[in-house]
């Protein structure tokens, strides 16, 4: 494992499988009366969120507390950031307080990499979403969910599986992280979106592109619907919501054209009636709630490997550290 988790592109196949397999073992805790491990006792983890978040922030906090870490929640609203304090000064303040890891979500693409590449912090940096760039732990929990449904078992990947990611690719950090991770695990990824919602240079990405959702659905093992991120838009990218929903929304009729084993995914938050209808969102084939539960296990695995049981691959680490396996820690 490397010292930081900034991008899904930084993960090798072995790295990704190590995280997924560790998450599989840690997921067993959720069925216990006492769900805690002492792995990170005495370690301080700061959740540094400059953007609003419900699932990711709560998921990280639950994961940290289940590993017995000391958790500090930092929100830009109501802090010195609102008075003009820079990211550097905020990071130096956290370092002075002895933070062992920082989970950062920021509206600027590259903020997590800037923090990880600086000497402002001596601990690990975990990217919880930076602008429209990446969201690696979301990609990991998506891959974890897909593997459980499509190729269950420790050490297994997603080789040969066909995954469609549909919607606002242009503004989606989830799509960017997923295309890196899923192709690393052997999956075949297809982006489906109107031309205006595809980024420039997408022909160089390791994926196929289609503008026709109906032609793609009968061939997929999983389809991931993305929300249209209006808060990041400064122009009209499609004529009307009704037309977008008609061309790129997933309804019951389209669900019926998918193979019986295929699943429907969504990183959340969902906009029912736009990219996905209520009957599909509430269908047994929709894994949205399962993804949230899996997110806790995956983030526990990332924290465990970075802080509790990792041997750092980069020379910037002060020293290599090892601990017992998750089974022994239990």
Which residues make up each annotated binding site for carbamoyl phosphate?
55-56, 105, 135, 138, 268-269
Residue 239 has pLDDT above 70, yes or no: no
Q: Could you give the strand order of the β-sheet that contains 188-192, starting from the edge strand earlier in sequence?
A: 208-210, 188-192, 162-166, 222-225, 263-265
CB 142 within 8 A of CB 291: yes
**The pLDDT value given to residue 234:** 56
Residues 6+ apart with CB under 8 A from 322: 309, 310, 311
Give span(s): CATH 3.40.50.1370, the chain.
Answer: 4-135+291-309, 136-287
From residue 124, alpha-carbon distances to 58, 59, 275, 299 in Å are: 19, 18, 36, 14
Residue 21 has pLDDT above 70, yes or no: yes
Which residues make up each annotated binding site?
55-56, 83, 105, 135, 138, 173, 227, 268-269
What is the rounded CA–CA span in Å between residue 4 and residue 32?
30
Closest of 103, 106, 90 to residue 51, by C-alpha: 106
The phi, psi pair for 81, rounded to 5°, reads -60, -40
Token pair listed for 115: 């923090």
User: So what's the architecture of 136-287 in CATH?
Assistant: 3-Layer(aba) Sandwich (3.40)
Give the tens place of pLDDT for each residue, 160-205.
999 999 998 998 999 999 999 999 999 999 999 999 899 999 999 9
Give the tens place of pLDDT for each residue, 86-111.
889 989 998 998 999 999 999 999 99
Which residues make up each annotated binding site for L-aspartate?
83, 173, 227
Residue 39 has pLDDT above 90, yes or no: yes
CATH 3.40.50.1370 fits 4-135+291-309, yes or no: yes
Label residue 330 exposed, middle or buried (CB < 10 Å: 0-12, 13-18, 19+): middle
Would you please indicate which residues are annotated as catalytic (active-site) residues? 55-56, 83, 105, 135
**The pLDDT value given to residue 235:** 58
What is the rounded CA–CA span in Å between residue 7 and residue 53?
19
């Amino acid at each position: 494992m490397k010292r930081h988790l900034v991008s899904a592109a930084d993960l090798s196949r072995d790295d990704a499988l190590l995280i997924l397999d560790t998450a599989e073992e840690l997921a067993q805790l959720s069925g216990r009366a006492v769900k805690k491990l002492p792995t990170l006792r005495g370690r301080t983890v700061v959740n540094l969120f400059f953007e609003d978040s419900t699932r990711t922030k709560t998921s990280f906090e639950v994961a940290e507390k289940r590993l017995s870490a000391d958790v500090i929640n930092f929100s830009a609203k109501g802090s010195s950031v609102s008075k003009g304090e820079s990211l550097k000064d905020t990071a130096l303040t956290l370092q002075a307080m002895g933070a062992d890891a920082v989970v950062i979500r920021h509206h600027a693409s590259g903020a997590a990499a800037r923090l990880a590449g600086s000497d402002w912090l001596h601990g690990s940096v975990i990217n919880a979403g930076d602008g429209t760039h990446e969201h690696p732990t979301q990609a990991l929990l998506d891959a974890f969910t897909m593997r459980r449904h499509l190729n269950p078992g420790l050490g297994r990947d997603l080789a040969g599986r066909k995954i469609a990611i549909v919607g606002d690719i242009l503004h989606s950090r989830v799509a960017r992280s997923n295309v890196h991770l899923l192709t690393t695990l052997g999956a075949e990824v297809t982006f489906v979106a109107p031309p205006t919602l595809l980024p420039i240079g997408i022909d160089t990405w390791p994926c196929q592109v289609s503008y026709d959702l109906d032609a793609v659905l009968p061939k997929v093992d999983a389809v991931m619907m993305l929300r249209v991120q209006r808060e990041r838009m400064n122009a009209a990218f499609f004529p009307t919501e009704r037309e977008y929903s008609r061309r790129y929304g997933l309804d019951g009729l389209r669900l019926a054209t998918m193979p019986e084993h295929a699943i429907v995914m969504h990183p959340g938050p969902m906009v029912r009636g736009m990219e996905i209808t209520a009957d599909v969102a509430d269908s047994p084939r929709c894994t949205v709630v399962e993804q949230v539960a899996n997110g806790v296990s995956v983030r526990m695995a990332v924290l465990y490997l970075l802080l509790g049981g990792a041997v750092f691959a980069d020379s910037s680490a002060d020293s290599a550290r090892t601990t017992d396996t998750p089974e022994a820690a239990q």
